Amino acid sequence: MTFSHKDRKQTIQEAAKTTYDVLIIGGGITGAGVAVQTAAAGMKTVLLEMQDFAEGTSSRSTKLVHGGIRYLKTFDVEVVADTVRERAIVQQIAPHIPKPDPMLLPIYDEPGATFSLFSVKVAMDLYDRLANVTGSKYENYLLTKEEVLEREPQLQAENLVGGGVYLDFRNNDARLVIENIKRAQADGAAMISKAKVVGILHDEQGIINGVEVEDQLTNERFEVHAKVVINTTGPWSDIVRQLDKNDELPPQMRPTKGVHLVVDREKLKVPQPTYFDTGKNDGRMVFVVPRENKTYFGTTDTDYTGDFAHPTVTQEDVDYLLTIVNERFPHAQITLDDIEASWAGLRPLIVNNGGSDYNGGGKGKLSDESFEQIVESVKEYLEDERQRPVVEKAVKQAQERVEASKVDPSQVSRGSSLERSKDGLLTLAGGKSPTIA
Ligand SMILES: Cc1cc2nc3c(=O)[nH]c(=O)nc-3n(C[C@H](O)[C@H](O)[C@H](O)COP(=O)(O)OP(=O)(O)OC[C@H]3O[C@@H](n4cnc5c(N)ncnc54)[C@H](O)[C@@H]3O)c2cc1C
């Protein structure tokens, strides 16, 4: 069957009389990625999305296939290794989507700075090894203060000590979802948008065996049955789980809102994506990304309880981002009138999921002294003078010295989780785009 709105009615009719191997609720990157895998494995698959495909968080990200260099501050080598491995796979199968776009990391000598020039070089070297770019044209390098300012003359010069440049990639988040949706459909999966799951069905034993669906175009209701039902609704995960009367698991999501603002490129001139500490000593970092003739920047990270389908940008969000960007780019002087567009997305963050994040805060703050000890250990590890467990111990000790912190939104993990309730409902959610699930 072709993938066309003309076939939608027929696809729904067939779905209503088929028992699938796998039924996926939610057509963001997580659901689309699962569908690609199950369809390719020959499983009879159906995906139901209540809006358009990718209309949730998966079209509202920073649009980077970010390798997560920040993770290296706490030596989360696995997280970085996984991310760069996934990225390499996406590059192979969809070379038209991730584009190499080296990132500039200006380094400031100020309290709470994530990196010093010394530690950023160690982190970038380790990163290059993990990303397999050591010795290539994308290998990292350091810039002097003067070189950074030559590239980005609008940047704050005060306390600037130099910068690091390392390989990162830009993404087209919604397009990546659509490519996965199309691939799964081509492999035989039924992919239906504007189809909202409104109820969970069970067999006589109380085991989940399907869902009730409301067609958002006609308001008609129908049932779809499957052996396995997987909830990949991101920030909506708990809402969908609440539809399941036999789901005994406690709520697990803590959605946080992230806002981006867009200005004309002439207003904020950066030749390449730039990533820097907020300067507020809050452990957060902000991206400024040029695209075509515009520049966008973000994000915020605040708890969110409003309308999940339409998170909005508040004056507080704008004030927060303008303050940070105007402090880092004092020559830009961006005002409210310069903002041409904005978007807001909800991170599907999981409470109590330990780990570090990729653009917000971390598990707590390491003191500079602790971090230097880690850097030394990592250096020795890279020079094959130390074994990995020794480095891990150094990291653990440093972490133990971290003050128990109040868990602010930026400290909730971007890791993902797969849970199975007693009746068999699977829920897969997490805070970072699985570039390919
Ligand atoms: C501001 C921000 C910046 C980010 N930047 C990056 C980045 O640069 N790089 C990166 O890798 N990651 C980034 N992320 C993280 C990444 O975007 C998300 O982890 C990812 O998009 C989550 O995808 P998802 O499929 O789990 O959720 P979603 O994309 O939200 O998909 C869930 C889908 O489920 C649907 N749904 C909900 N309820 C129902 C129902 N009852 N029936 C049917 N369908 C339903 C929704 O309509 C939605 O389309 C960012 C996130 C945010 C918020």
Give the pLDDT confidence of 368-385 residue by residue, as tens digits.
555 666 677 777 777 776
% of the chain with per-residue pLDDT over 70: 85
Residue whose C-alpha is closest to residue 21's, from 433, 437, 426 = 426
CB of 55 sitting under 6 A from ligand 1: yes
Q: What are the beta bridge partners of residue 347?
A: 256
The pLDDT assigned to 402 comes to 46
**Per-residue confidence band for 351, with pLDDT thresholds at 50, 70 and 90:** confident
346 C-alpha vs ligand 1 centroid, how far in Å?
Answer: 7
Residue identified by tokens 């971290």 is 402
CATH number of the domain enclosing 140: 3.30.9.10
Instruction: Verify that 144 and 271 share a domain, yes or no.
Output: yes
At 47, give phi and psi (nearest 5°).
-125, 135
Q: Is residue 74 part of a domain?
A: no
The pLDDT assigned to 260 comes to 98
Instruction: Return the higher-pLDDT residue of 130 and 221.
Output: 221
Other C-beta atoms lying within 10 Å of the C-beta of residue 133: 17
**Domain extent for 386:** 368-406
- Non-local (6+) Cβ contacts of 164 within 8 A are 104, 105, 107, 115, 117, 120, 121, 124, 140, 141, 142, 143
CB of 347 sitting under 6 A from ligand 1: yes
State mean pLDDT over 123-143: 89
* Angstrom distance (rounded) from CA 176 to CA 284: 27
- Inform me whether the pLDDT recorded for 173 exceeds 80: yes
**Per-residue confidence band for 94, with pLDDT thresholds at 50, 70 and 90:** confident
CB of 28 sitting under 6 A from ligand 1: yes
Q: How many residues are recorded in the chain?
A: 437
Instruction: Verify that 215 and 267 share a domain, yes or no.
Output: no
33 C-alpha vs ligand 1 centroid, how far in Å?
Answer: 12
Q: Is residue 414 part of a domain?
A: no
Checking 384-392 for CB contacts under 8 A at 24+ apart, the result is: 391/75, 392/75
State mean pLDDT over 114-123: 90
253 C-alpha vs ligand 1 centroid, how far in Å?
Answer: 13
Sign of the Cα torsion 123, 124, 129, 131 reads positive
**Per-residue confidence band for 362, with pLDDT thresholds at 50, 70 and 90:** very low
CB of 433 sitting under 6 A from ligand 1: yes
402 C-alpha vs ligand 1 centroid, how far in Å?
Answer: 31
**Per-residue confidence band for 363, with pLDDT thresholds at 50, 70 and 90:** very low
CB of 66 sitting under 6 A from ligand 1: yes
Question: What is the per-residue pLDDT across 398-429, written as a single tens digit (0 to 9) for each?
Answer: 555 544 344 555 555 556 788 899 999 999 98
392 C-alpha vs ligand 1 centroid, how far in Å?
Answer: 32
The pLDDT assigned to 365 comes to 44
Instruction: Verify that 393 and 291 share a domain, yes or no.
Output: no
CATH number of the domain enclosing 23: 3.50.50.60
The pLDDT assigned to 135 comes to 86
Instruction: Verify that 241 and 262 share a domain, yes or no.
Output: no
The pLDDT assigned to 371 comes to 62
- Inform me whether the pLDDT recorded for 431 exceeds 70: no
- For the packed helices 117-130 and 77-93, what is the interaxial angle rounded to 10 degrees? 50
CB of 431 sitting under 6 A from ligand 1: yes
Q: Is residue 318 part of a domain?
A: yes
Q: Is residue 23 part of a domain?
A: yes
432 C-alpha vs ligand 1 centroid, how far in Å?
Answer: 9
Instruction: Return the higher-pLDDT residue of 76 and 427.
Output: 427
Instruction: Verify that 259 and 342 share a domain, yes or no.
Output: yes
**Per-residue confidence band for 333, with pLDDT thresholds at 50, 70 and 90:** very high
Question: What is the per-residue pLDDT across 28-55, written as a single tens digit (0 to 9) for each?
Answer: 999 999 999 999 999 999 999 999 999 9
CB of 345 sitting under 6 A from ligand 1: yes
Sign of the Cα torsion 83, 85, 89, 91 reads positive
**Per-residue confidence band for 206, with pLDDT thresholds at 50, 70 and 90:** very high
- Inform me whether the pLDDT recorded for 75 exceeds 70: no
Instruction: Verify that 230 and 374 share a domain, yes or no.
Output: no
Pocket test for ligand 1, best of 12, 34, 62, 213 (most atoms within 8 A of CB): 62
Answer for the pair 173, 99: CB distance below 8 angstroms, yes or no.
no
The pLDDT assigned to 126 comes to 87
369 C-alpha vs ligand 1 centroid, how far in Å?
Answer: 37
Pocket test for ligand 1, best of 181, 233, 242 (most atoms within 8 A of CB): 233
* Angstrom distance (rounded) from CA 390 to CA 385: 10
Q: Is residue 126 part of a domain?
A: yes
299 prior amide bond cis, ω within 30: yes
Q: Is residue 79 part of a domain?
A: no
Residue of minimum CA distance from atom 25 in ligand 1: 28
Q: Is residue 106 part of a domain?
A: yes
419 CA to centre of own chain: 19
Q: Is residue 272 part of a domain?
A: yes
**Per-residue confidence band for 291, with pLDDT thresholds at 50, 70 and 90:** very high
Report angle CA 123, 160, 408 to the nearest 5 degrees.
60
* Angstrom distance (rounded) from CA 421 to CA 306: 26
CB of 258 sitting under 6 A from ligand 1: yes
The secondary structure of the chain, three-state, reads: CCCCHHHHHHHHHHHHCCEEEEEEECCCHHHHHHHHHHHHCCCCEEEECCCCCCCCHHHCCCCECCCCHHHHHHCCHHHHHHHHHHHHHHHHHCCCCCEECCEEEEEECCCCCCCCHHHHHHHHHHHHHHCCCCCCCCCCEEEEHHHHHHHCCCCCCCCEEEEEEECCEECCHHHHHHHHHHHHHHCCCEEECCEEEEEEEECCCCCEEEEEEEECCCCCEEEEEEEEEEECCHHHHHHHHHCCCCCCCCCCECCEEEEEEEEECCCCCCCCCEEEECCCCCCCEEEEEEECCEEEEECCCEECCCCCCCCCCCHHHHHHHHHHHHHHCCCCCCCHHHCCEEEEEEECCECCCCCCCCCCCCCCCCCHHHHHHHHHHHHHHHCCCCCHHHHHHHHHHHHHCCCCCCCCHHHCCCCEEEEECCCCCEEEEECCCCCCC
The pLDDT assigned to 229 comes to 98
Tally of structural domains, the chain: 3
- Torsion (CA) 185, 20, 435, 258 in degrees, nearest 10: 110
Instruction: Return the higher-pLDDT residue of 122 and 433.
Output: 122
- Inform me whether the pLDDT recorded for 361 exceeds 80: no
Task: Provide the mean pLDDT of the chain.
Answer: 87
Instruction: Verify that 259 and 379 share a domain, yes or no.
Output: no
The pLDDT assigned to 358 comes to 39
Instruction: Verify that 237 and 299 share a domain, yes or no.
Output: no
